Structure 1
């Protein structure tokens, strides 16, 4: 919701600034969930749904069993 039409070209090449804006959706989603009682695993899933085993994901660059 917060990102709106900005995700239309999500698979096209983008500038580093545009990439940072798109990656902010994780923080925006967590802000939307503030005040809602959810189990910790749900919040972690929201935060880490773009992480990759090789550490190339975001927002935290987790790798392997991190």
Structure 2
């Protein structure tokens, strides 16, 4: 799996809600905005997705909040 996994840390590029990390991912992998969905758990994540023009879902749509 290691050869297929790439980790990006937004804080190392420009902290969220700035969309710079998403723009980098789109460019490096020749992706379209419609190809991505961001799954997050806070307002900064949602704002970042909105700023990049990609779909957003909250993690709590998939797991129960304790």
What interval of TM-score do these two structures reach, taking the shorter chain for normalisation?
A: 0.3 to 0.5
Higher relative contact order (CA 8 A, sep 6+): 2
TM-score under structure 1 normalisation?
A: 0.33
Structure with greater strand percent: 2
Rg larger in 1 or in 2? 1
TM-score under structure 2 normalisation?
A: 0.33
